[in-house]
Structure 1
Amino acid sequence: MADSRPVTTTDSGIPVPSDEFSQSVGADGPLLLQDHYLIRKLAAFDRERVPERVVHAKGGGAYGVLEITEDVSQYTKADVFKRGRRTDLFLRFSTVAGELGFADTARDPRGFAVKLYTEEGNYDIVGNNTPIFFIRDPMKFPDFIHSQKRRADTHLHDNNMQWDFWTLSPESAHQVTLLMSDRGTPSSWRHMHGFGSHTFLWYNEAREKFWVKYHFKTDQGIKNFTHAEAAAAGAEDPDLHIRDLHSAIRRGEHPTWTLQVQVMPYEDAADYRFNPFDLTKVWPHEDYPPIDIGTLTLNRNPENYFAEVEQAAFEPSNLVPGVGASPDKMLQGRLFSYPDTHLHRIGPNYLQLPVNRPKNAVHSYGRDGAMRFTNPADPVYAPNSHGGPVADPNLLAGESYDVTGEIVRSAHRPHAEDDDFVQPRALWEKVMTDTDRAHLVANIVAHASAPEVTDRTKTRVVDYWRSVHKDLGDQVARGLHVNGK
């Protein structure tokens, strides 16, 4: 059957070598700008919808402060992470796949995007309320989101598309396990964790390097809805989460999160038992215990939703000295895709909007374009001999690292624990309570029982969950009346 299918092409009709894997330096190395199909695919995807966000369309946010309480100068020279430093911030929460009219209580991951107005420019930590994601390669991101959106023929959402994509993408199992648990329906933004999700590079004044992950742990405690509670709450108030956050801050009940970091010595990544840059996996806490380093507090509501929440633009490429990117392929794709999206959705000068403007002075050669508020004076080019700003090559010290390998399109090199089902199996066996397991099965069965889900897809759903754990798959099979035992 596969031989009769047409070969994927670019929009120019050129045959495509892979729909799943980006071009990288070695299986685990950084991606290449020369991968024109990836760049074109992401660029086209970023421009699909106007004017709402393609993803994270509906959300809310608030201003606050991050206070660092512990000394982490042995790991990073970033000014924002100096002990005692208080940094103003804006935090936007959101649903991910849902549209502007969706209920806040829909089953979906939640965006958790923090813009820190540091002394060295804006630093954005753009994550979710889960430490992982559905895929590990940005080549599949447009396809994943398409499977969560609307059909071309009926303009309806279709659970069959979702399960079709998930069951053909085994790396999704960890995130789908969380999504189908009660963590997929948090009762409020105040009662959920946030994560930077990706792995980042930290480097200190001595140019020593470390890999880190960010965790924002809610101090209000975790509270989730069951499937029935979420449906009832969403029917009564589809804007529940927006209303809850705004009302709590207005009452003076300022929500807080404890910022933790996991720190991996730079050398550990080379022979760790799985790829530490794989966004579908977490670092076990017994290997790298989270360290408390500060507190995030939200204390002020926006005054204008459109100007501040809707036009807030976050980008993982906003990295301050002391922080760098990692070979995480999803992060590499987002470094390009996020600012490209903002250029299209908001305009070429979106960084001059008040909510996006850094607190420190900007010395840039960028100029002109629609809605430009300020333009640099002469000279307008670099290099120049007329007093214009100059770059500081010393800022690269510590951020660089060696990469070697052939140019390939590959998932990643084999590791001892590369099985995509190891970590979701651990959730089922070691983390979830009996109630959690029962709710997980019920939620899967309810979602996969939608009338549009075909018997063929249901069979794959059962196989998918049996790969996570036989008991889980067998219970799903009985609920779906497919391949039951």
Structure 2
Amino acid sequence: MTDTPKPRMTTTAGAPVASNSTSQTAGNRGPVLLQDYQLIEKLAHQNRERIPERVVHAKGWGAFGTFKVTNDITHLSAAKVFDTVGKTTEVLTRFSTVAGELGAADAERDVRGFSVKFYTEEGNWDIVGNNTPIFFIRDGIKFPDFIRTQKRHPKTNLRSPEAMFDFWAAQPESVHQVTILMSDRGIPVNPMHMHGYGSHTFSVWNKDGVRHWVKFHWRCQQPIRNYTNAEAQKIIGETRENYQEDLYNAIDEGRFPKWKLCIQAMPEEDALNVPYNPFDLTKVWPHSDYPLIEVGEMELNRNPENYFVYIENAAFSPSNVVPGIGFSPDKMLQARIFSYADAHRYRLGTHYEALPANAPKCPVHHYHKDGSMRFFTNDFGNPDAYYEPNQYGGPSADVSVQEPPLKISGDADRYDQLEADADYVQPRALFNLLPQDEKQRLFDNMAAAMGPCSEPVAERWLSVLAKVHPDYAAGVRASLKKDSDVNAISVTDETKVDTTE
């Protein structure tokens, strides 16, 4: 115990609080008085302690760390974050599941979000990706429907495998991601034992304005480890928070996880000639054509002092780029550039980027004004400088950071990207790479997920798998039959027991 005097408790307005344990009443047994503003403030704040959870990626875990440049890529990008080998930049990383709500179990079979915010000298740069290099769909207009299939059924309020596989069967492009999801990689043991990817195609350009298309890869420096369905079920029976426990405890004990940041770089002109669409989020770039180039290393080494302030309030968006890093014609990326920032404005408020987790470490000069939670000034020392252009010394644009023009263009239209067999080529290559024991686990995992599906939906999905490889469909079909036989035997045994009783 310490004899140091405790600080005096106050209201949020700074007034000292006389009691935090009794309400004001009219006499010892009388009713509570409306004038007890300290009681009202306390209850009113509690009513507002919860903000809307993220529509997707609601359950998450995060930490601070540093990014250190280990290789010179200034010939590819003029971004100052990369300008010197050995340079370090503070980062905030958040991992998450996609489909589960805020109270979901950590060890569910799901894609994991993998987002990193770099607090650079030229503003915040966010890589907002997943633990998979591709995604279920390639056009953002499908995203709301896709996410509805991952959430709860409007009548039963339960997850619906029927909806999931019905949607996937209508989108053959999804079979690549579903194969990864149902494989051994579908349940990482925790965030420290999985790779991360920017997933989309981005662009970088050097000081001469020469552009390359790039893919970002976070290569895990810990062993890659995953749970089987049975192992995950056992873990969930013991704790729903194993990811939070593992990540927090590792950093608290000085076991700092690390990832190497690598890029694949494609010259701008190559995009017109490669046999696949390099801006299609359901496709990967062959490493044999575009090998990984090391950029730097991220180490997570500091737990946040307050989870809500720094992790729940963290707002990552692909729209956060810095000079030397930009976008691409990737349709999903183009949609996310709008939707992520808009989600943050709804969930956190108009000025979400001024919150501690999101505030840049460099000077910020803009003309946004007023709105809810306007808790900062930006009059640049002159209250007359509240619009642009002005003659009062307010900030103005800098043409030197202008992005070079894109060399890809075309007529504006709603293009339906139908590629016949193209959507099955990469999933087929992935399937052929899997050893037989992993293929069997893939069959069993997918059959378990499809168990509640109706026969028409199951058959539609099996027809998609058959286009990937006949053995793929046959293996899942055999596992479905095996599960059906086991269930039939179980029902028969239960009937016998009931009859005996």
TM-score, with structure 1 as normaliser: 0.86
SS at match of 1:420: helix
CA distance in 1, matches of 2:125, 2:58: 22
1:77-116 to 2 correspondences below 5 Å: 77-82=78-83, 83-116=85-118
1:371 maps to which residue? 373
Aligned position for 2:406: 401
User: Does the CA-based 8 Å contact 1:182-1:227 persist in structure 2?
Assistant: no
Report the CA distance between 1:411 and its aligned residue. Answer: 2.9
| CA distance in 1: counterparts of 2:408 and 2:469, whole angstroms | 37
Shift of 1:412: 3.2
Letter of the 2:394 partner, please give it: G
Counterpart code for 2:67: L
Which residue pairs with 2:64 in the alignment?
63
Amino acid at match of 1:428: F
Equivalent residue for 1:411, pick from 394, 416, 423: 416
- 2:206 is aligned to 204
Deviates more, 1:401-410 or 1:99-108: 401-410
Q: Deviations over 1:158-209 (max 9, x none)?
A: 1111000111110001000000011110011100000000111100001111
Matched, 1:429 2:435: no
Matching residue within 255, 258, 282 for 1:256: 258
Give the aligned residue type for 1:423.
Q
Is 1:352 paired with 2:358?
A: no
- 1:192-229 CA distance string (max 9 Å, x none): 00000011110000111101111001111100001111
Alignment equivalent of 1:295, drawn from 294, 297, 309: 297
- In 2, the alpha carbon distance for the partners of 1:439 and 1:89 equals 37
Gaps of 5+ in 2: 1-49, 485-501
Distance 1:210 1:405 in 2: 20
Secondary structure of 1:207's aligned partner: coil
Structure 2 Cα separation of the partners of residues 146 and 397 of structure 1:
36
Partner of 2:473: 473
Distance 1:202 1:53 in 2: 30
Q: Distance in 1 between matches of 2:266 and 2:454?
A: 44
User: How far, CA to CA, are the matches of 2:376 and 2:66 in structure 1?
Assistant: 28
Paired AA for residue 363 in structure 1: H
- 2:493 — aligned with what? none
CA distance in 1 between counterparts of 2:233 and 2:185 reads: 14
In the TM superposition, residue 475 of structure 1 has moved relative to its aligned partner by: 1.3
1:204–1:157: structure 2 CA closer, same or farther, 3 Å change rule? same
Q: Which structure's CA Rg is the greater one?
A: 2
CA-to-aligned-CA distance 1:95-154 (integer Å, 9 cap, x gap)? 011111111110100000000000000000000000000000000000000000011111
Q: Is the 8 A contact 1:93 1:113 kept in 2?
A: yes
Match of 1:457 in 2: 457
Structure 1 residue 413, shift from structure 2 partner: 7.3
Cα distance, 1:50 vs structure 2: 6.4
The secondary structure found in structure 2 opposite 1:56 is: coil
Which residue of 388, 394, 398 corresponds with 1:392? 398
Cα RMSD over matched residues? 1.5
Tell me the residue number matched to 1:238. Answer: 240
The answer for the alignment partner of 1:146 in structure 2 is 148
Q: One-letter code of the match for 2:412?
A: I
CA contact (8 A) 1:458 1:480 kept: no
Where in structure 2 are the equivalents of 1:299-314 lying within 5 Å?
A: 299-314=301-316
Is residue 164 of structure 2 the alignment partner of residue 162 of structure 1? yes
Q: Secondary structure at the match of 2:413?
A: strand
Given that 1:195 and 1:214 are in contact with CA atoms closer than 8 Å, whether structure 2 keeps it comes out as: yes
Larger RCO (CA within 8 A; separation ≥ 6):
1
Residues 324, 403 of structure 2: 8 Å contact kept: no
Percent of residue pairs bearing the same amino acid type: 50
Q: Contact (CA 8 Å) 1:368, 1:375: kept in 2 or not?
A: no
Bigger shift: residues 278-287 or 461-470:
461-470
Describe the SS at the equivalent of 2:437: helix
Distance 2:431 2:66 in 1: 36
CA distance in 2, matches of 1:397, 1:152: 45
State whether residues 274 and 418 of structure 1, in contact with CA within 8 Å, keep that contact through their aligned partners in structure 2: no
State the secondary structure of the residue aligned to 2:199. Answer: coil
> Counterparts of 1:168 and 1:76 in 2: how far apart (Å)?
39
Q: Are residues 374 and 86 of structure 1, via their aligned partners in 2, closer, same or farther at CA, if it must alter by over 3 Å?
A: same
Matched residue count: 429
Aligned letter for 1:332? Answer: Q
Unpaired segments ≥5 residues, structure 1: 1-48
Contact in 1 for aligned 2:313/2:348 (Cα 8 Å):
yes
One of 214, 219, 222 as aligned partner of 2:221: 219
Other-structure match for 1:420? 423
How far apart are residue 473 of structure 1 and its match?
Answer: 0.4
Deviates more, 1:319-328 or 1:366-375: 366-375
Aligned to 2:73: 72
Alignment partner of 2:274 out of 272, 275, 278? 272
Q: Distance in 1 between matches of 2:410 and 2:295?
A: 36
